Amino acid sequence: MNCRDIELIVIKLASNQLLEVTARARGLAHIEACARCAARLAEARALWAGMRAVVAEIAQEEAPARMEAMLLAAFRERAAAQAGPTMIQSPARTGRWPQWMIAAAVVIVVLVSVATIFWRRSSSPNRRPEAQAGIPKPSTTAIVQPAPAQVNTTITDKPALAQRQIARHPRRRRRHSTPGDLSETEVATGFFSLVDGDDLASLESGQVVRVELPGSALSAVGLPIDAALANKPVKADVVLGADGVARLIRFVRQVVASDQ
């Protein structure tokens, strides 16, 4: 047996673990003759003694008593849940969107709309200036009367204030301005803030983008939802700040009224 072989069995020798009788005898014989391996054995014995000291020191260590009670409660709760039908309904089964999903949907729709607008403007040979103007103060409901002959629609809820002129695409304008006995009137809610601290008064300028959202988006701003209309799209005007971030939103509904 050489020094390398001793390395492999030195801990077993030190800890008096089971070892083949011949191997033990030959190992001990080598150690008697080799100072280096004798030193190794002494170190290994020291290490083993240290390990036993650690084992003795932590022998009484265990998880705190409160853990058993907590785990037992968890076990009983699970056993009870498995024994009978659960009364807890998963949020996913309620059919309502979480608010963060609605907010994310609003942001995505706004971004897509803005991108589309910019793309159309950049690709159009007759570029029109962006519609930027002062923004009206919030109101609970605004009546918007599309004027058939005009390109711009004026929000008429507060005529004394600086009025917002909204650029409209000609196709949409034609659809809204049906000539004849019937005309479309838009009924709008007040503006709701999408960013904490924002209101119309705090915005010096902005851009309004018309978007369509699922009806359930109404709940994101605390408006009641008609269950039958929850999955139908609703129109909304989103006010973008100068930095392009959606700041405010209002919901718009079109009603058909006879000409006076």
Partner 1 sequence: MRNTTTPSDAELLRLMIAGDDQAFATLYRRHQGALYRFALLMSGSAAVAEDVTQEVFLLLIREAQRYDPARGTLSAYLYGAARHRVLRHLERERAHVPLIEEGENGEVVPIIPLLAQDDPFVDCMRQEMSKLVRQAVLALPPRYREVVVLCDFQDLSYAEAAVALGCAVGTISSRLCRGHALLLERLRAPDKLNAASPDAESLRCFV
Binding positions for partner 1, rule: CB under 8 A: 7-8, 10-11, 35-36, 38-40, 42-47, 49-51, 53-58, 61-64, 67-68, 70-72, 74-76, 78-79, 82-83
Pick the closer one to partner 1 by CB: 60 or 89: 60
Own/partner contacts of 228-232, CB < 8 Å, gap of 24 or more, are 230/95
Name the residue among 169, 142, 139 with its Cα closest to residue 154: 142
Rounded distance between C-alpha atoms, residue 189 and residue 212, angstroms? 15
Give the CA angle between residues 202, 240, 204 to the nearest 5°.
30
Least distance CB 60 / partner 1 (angstroms): 8
The label of the residue with tokens 């391996």 reads 37
Least distance CB 112 / partner 1 (angstroms): 39
Q: Are 54 and 60 in contact (CB under 8 A)?
A: no
Pick the closer one to partner 1 by CB: 83 or 256: 83
The answer for residues whose C-beta is within 8 angstroms of residue 239's C-beta and 6 or more apart is: 135, 191, 200, 203, 206, 207, 208, 246, 247, 248, 249
Least distance CB 122 / partner 1 (angstroms): 47
207, burial (CB in 10 Å: exposed 0-12, middle 13-18, buried 19+): buried
Least distance CB 14 / partner 1 (angstroms): 9
Least distance CB 69 / partner 1 (angstroms): 10
Pick the closer one to partner 1 by CB: 3 or 115: 3
Pick the closer one to partner 1 by CB: 55 or 256: 55
Give the CA angle between residues 187, 177, 181 to the nearest 5°.
90
Least distance CB 86 / partner 1 (angstroms): 15
Pick the closer one to partner 1 by CB: 30 or 210: 30
Other beta carbons within 10 Å of 217: 26
Pick the closer one to partner 1 by CB: 15 or 113: 15
Least distance CB 126 / partner 1 (angstroms): 59
Q: Are 245 and 195 in contact (CB under 8 A)?
A: yes
Pick the closer one to partner 1 by CB: 58 or 227: 58
Residue type, 48: W
Name the residue among 202, 206, 209, 198 with its Cα closest to residue 238: 209
